[in-house]
Structure 1
Amino acid sequence: MRIDPEHVAEGEVVLIAGPTASGKTQLALDLAEGFQARGRTAMVVNADAMQVYRDLLVLTARPRPSEMRNLEHRLFGHVDAAERYSVGRWLAEVQGLLAEAREDGAAAIFVGGTGLYLKALTEGLSPIPDIVPEIRDEVRARAEREGRDAMLRWLEALDPQAARAVKPGDTQRAVRAVEVKLSTGRSIMDWQSEPREPALVSEAQRFILLPQRETVYRAIDQRFGAMIDEGALEEVEALMARELATDLPAMKAIGVRPLSAYLRGEIALADAIERGKAESRRYAKRQLTWLRHQCGAGWCELHT
């Protein structure tokens, strides 16, 4: 499967979305290489929230230098694991890249599976102010300590409207809604109804990979097993040695927790690998569901 670069105008933006292990990075690289072969320029821009972390080369399947084919890559592995990277910061960095691409007449090829990034890029971002750091730390520490049911009960008491919109078990959304209510005094639902900041990309060629779920699951199982041979354990061991806060985004990357449990001697390696595979499969299922429901008109579906 490939996208013909002749069908992409000079300086155009291309979006390639898909679940983990679907082959979207390969598709983006093939397209960029096709541009290069025709004497045109292109940059491959990361739209994956975990591939921004330099500490997570293996576990996020970030393209290695040897796999980049001498093509220009942006926003891959440029953030330290100790930082709390956000979609707002990503958009700010993307704005500069798009200006650069337009000036050079280069195509900007965005590739990733983080739905919030793609939605913010094409539809704009709700104008929710930054969360007060002390509130954020308090809420996330409590979530870690008390678990998802306690967070949902807390949200129900603070903001019943937002609580009704959170699906059972979606701790991340519950935590976010609590943080917003405590920090701003307003419901996250009110903020989301406000006019959004302007989208950075209104016109773009949009492609979405929608492989069969079983195909993705097989690819995930094969890839996660290979990650162990490629240094995933050493990567997690290095993270553990830094003693970073467990609620940091990088520490929640798929595979970090089960492999950490193995390295602490709590479970067998085979169990850690199976848990990592299961985490990846659940994530891919959520991605496929989101992509099918959120990416509508204007997206070209590629079924594999």
Structure 2
Amino acid sequence: MTNPSMTDQAGDKPALRVMLCAPRGFCAGVVRAIDAVERALAIHGAPVYVRHEIVHNKYVVEGLKAKGAIFVEELDEVPAGTRAPVIFSAHGVAKSVPEDAAARHFYAIDATCPLVTKVHREATVHHKRGREVVLIGHAGHPEVIGTMGQLPAGAVSLVETAEQARLFVPRDPDNLAFTTQTTLSIDDTAGIVAILRERFPNMVAPHKEDICYATTNRQEAVKRVAPEVDALIVVGAPNSSNSQRLREAAERAGCRVAVLVQRASEIDWSLFGGISSLAVTAGASAPEILVEEVIDAFAERFAVKVETVHTAHEDVFFPLPRQLRADAAE
């Protein structure tokens, strides 16, 4: 990564103040999921099968493929009778997936983020207590599919927008509970919850907010710096919900140019002509090496001076799935 103290000497380049958001990048759930694949490869050797992208980042996925991981979308793509581990991604899966894995006699390892598992358990408890579950989230996202798949068909009602919250008709207005996807916009979700609570005052809320600490911290950091810069780059994948929400948060905070890129090679330089300040952050599944790559790309065109803006401290750690811990592997 470019040394900021050296870039000021490049007098032929326009000066660029780079505000580097902290926290950014990998969260504890992502670290755990990636480590799970690497640990499984170390213990069992290649191949290791992974259902769905372990996290939504092409660079990470390609790196694990090079080490011997094979990614599939459905279990029927895994060879029958294999003794290789089959790992479920950080986003979580429907109950039918581990049941299917057991029926096929696969050695399944669940790398679901513990904070997603928390949402699964909440939904299950509400259902057992006879409540209709409202899930706030994005249709088609793997996490939403996994959460809805914890309960029988029709037991969960998905609400994606404020308009849907206004139109939602429950079976029993006095017997409701809500949960949320962990990677949503804090502000959007608060608006949807406010509408639902106004309409259904007895609706039961989570004991602790479902939007995860990493999503919250990264969005708050973006909202802090976005009004102060000419442009902002989010390093992340287009199918990463938390990365897309960071870009949206920057736009709402008043940043004129807010873009999402996977790699430096995707930067549209026509958008960054004449800027004197830039903020950089990364979604929870984007590795730091890609952030460094983006800053280095700007350093080729600008006299870059980097400053880190700290808005929260993170020290969350999740242990590996039980089958992969040192005492279990010995």
Higher normalized helix content (fraction of residues): 1
Structure with bigger gyration radius: 2
Task: Report TM bin, short chain.
Answer: 0.3 to 0.5
TM-score by length of structure 1 reads: 0.37
TM-score by length of structure 2 reads: 0.35
